[in-house]
């Protein structure tokens, strides 16, 4: 399959603790990274994730954190404060 691996890597960087099977389901539901009517299966996602070197992953996450900080800093948000109600998990 010829997937857009840049899109898949972006998804993998943001997956957090989400199991690969749930990630596959979410991608399929949204039609994300679809090629020939097919999205990557959980084993393909896991394989790609396992090939990312730790140092590269750390650097990519640091870069993403910097981008998010720059995005929200212009709105004068307090980036080290978190909501204190029950809805914080629904972001």
Give residue limits of the domains in the chain.
5-90
Give the model's pLDDT for residue 91: 46
Instruction: Please tell me the pTM assigned to this model.
Output: 0.60
| Residue 45 · residue 23 · CB < 8 Å | yes
Report the alpha-carbon distance of residue 30 to residue 22 in Å, rounded. Answer: 12
Confidence of residue 21 (pLDDT cuts 50, 70, 90): very high
Q: What angle do CA 56, 71, 53 make, to 5 degrees?
A: 5
For 25-59, how does the pLDDT look when each residue is reduced to its tens digit (9 = 90+)? 988 888 887 777 788 889 988 988 888 888 888 88
| Residue 27 · residue 39 · CB < 8 Å | yes
Give the model's pLDDT for residue 51: 85
For 56-84, how does the pLDDT look when each residue is reduced to its tens digit (9 = 90+)? 888 888 888 888 777 776 665 565 655 55
């Amino acid at each position: 399959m010829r997937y857009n691996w840049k899109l898949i890597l972006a998804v993998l960087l943001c997956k957090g603790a989400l199991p690969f099977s749930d990630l596959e389901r979410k991608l399929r539901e949204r039609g994300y990274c679809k090629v020939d009517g097919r999205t990557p299966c959980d084993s393909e996602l896991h394989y790609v994730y396992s090939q990312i070197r730790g140092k590269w992953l750390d650097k990519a996450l640091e870069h993403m954190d910097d981008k998010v900080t720059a995005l929200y800093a212009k709105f004068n948000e307090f980036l080290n404060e978190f909501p204190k109600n029950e809805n914080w998990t629904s972001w």
